[in-house]
Amino acid sequence: MLITVEEAAEKIEAGKILLIAGDELLLTELPKGKWIAGTIPYFMTKEAGGLASNTHIFVNEIKDFIENIKIISYKEKELVRITSDAPDNGFSFIIIPANSSAHFAYAQNAPSFKNIFFKPILGWIAGIHLSQLGNITPKVFNGETGEYFDQDAIVMHVSLRQDKMAMINILNLFQQGNGDNITFDTEGFQVKDCYINGKQQNLAQYLLTNAIDIKLPLVADYYGTSINVSIQNINEETEIVDLYAPVFQNITYKIAAPISNYVNEFYQQFPRYSVNPIFSCNCILNYLYGELETKHTDPIVGPMTFGEIAYQLLNQTLVYLEIETIS
């Protein structure tokens, strides 16, 4: 729910366990308690649809299905411990500041963490208002201590009752298009050369020459699951392409097939059965490119983020968490 700082403070002082997103100045006003937060002013709401706000914060309350929580901050080299710190039955909620050392380290290394795909880990990349790019840094907050960080990750490890189970769901509206196969022999957020159908070529020149719409991500097919790598910028002078997530070796990418109407496509692909997320987030690029301001994606509400995490870093993807009862 989107609420005022005063309303959030009342929940914190009442001992509620909260996941919070909002403007940095608002988050610094909150009292200590059982919460973690990240900076972002963009939200999808039930009442008004997509909007930007520097007067309200978005709060997800973790209710009566838990046994306990543990809040830990992780520096870049400590991220590998997340899976060992994660509960046997529960989930780990992570927020990482965009463009931080933790962001880059998690993006490139998380897929190789021990048991990464066997422990429910989800969260998002904290950001800022786009008008503030280059002026301030995204932050994450440890509500228990009052500390905030612009380089470290913050994680709330949540242990569930034995009759409950966490289920992470991913909705990616993008699929591989019918174009060329693109592979890389280097990994990272910046790329220069690649292989187009096995022939070495400069990626920037390929994108420009073929008039590729860079609103469309590169898409890899991981055994039937589409994983996006969004294109941030093409530097024509250096012929370097900046990405919002790293590409990996030995993975085949294709330019995504275009989407004509984001909201229509969302409702076509969203599950027809009853969905009851306790948390969801969507990508700021979907917000911008899909022109989601004032539009609705019910029942998905929450922060519009600089990256989504479902085990590994994702781009232009919707992530949500449900808690199921084990019969």
The arithmetic mean of pLDDT across residues 279-305, rounded, is 94
Tens-digit pLDDT profile for residues 124-180: 999 999 999 889 999 999 999 999 999 999 999 999 999 999 999 999 999 999 999
Structural contact between residues 254 and 284, judged by C-beta atoms closer than 8 angstroms: no
Structural domain that includes position 147: 2-171+264-325
> Does residue 270 sit in the same domain as residue 251?
no
Any alpha helices (H) in the chain, and if so which ranges? 5-13, 24-27, 82-85, 101-109, 203-209, 262-269, 284-289
Query: Of 230, 255, 280, which residue sits at a domain end?
Result: 255
- pLDDT band at 224, cuts 50/70/90? confident
Domain count, the chain: 2
Pairing status of strand 57-62 against strand 35-39: unpaired
> Does residue 158 sit in the same domain as residue 233?
no
SS3 294: coil
Distance between CA 308 and CA 282 in Å, rounded? Answer: 7
Q: Would 177 be classed as within a structural domain?
A: no
The helix (H) or strand (E) run that includes residue 153 is: strand 153-160
pLDDT at position 73: 98
Distance between CA 42 and CA 283 in Å, rounded? Answer: 10
Within 8 A by CB and 6+ apart from 224, the residues are none
Distance between CA 103 and CA 77 in Å, rounded? Answer: 11
Query: Of 255, 287, 312, which residue sits at a domain end?
Result: 255
> Does residue 219 sit in the same domain as residue 105?
no
Higher pLDDT, residue 134 or 48: 48
Mean pLDDT (the chain, rounded): 95
The arithmetic mean of pLDDT across residues 320-326, rounded, is 94
